[in-house]
Structure 1
Amino acid sequence: MGDVRARQRDMFSDLLSVCPVLYFADFLVRAGARSVRRYLLSRRTEPRAQRSYALSLVFGDPMVRGSNPRLEALSLRMIHLWTSFAKTGRIPRRFQETIAGYTIEISDVVYSEEEAPFLRFREGHCNFLRPHYSRVLNGIL
Structure 2
Amino acid sequence: MRADTATARAALAEIRAEIPATDATEVDLDVDIDTTGAQSALMSLGIQMAILMAIPLGPVLAAGLGWALCTAWSARTVAKPGSLDLYEAKWGLEIEATASPKDAIYGHRQVHTGRFRFLSDETVTEAPCASSTMKT
Give me the TM-score of the superposition, normalised by structure 1.
0.22
Larger proportion of helix: 1
Q: Which has the larger radius of gyration?
A: 2
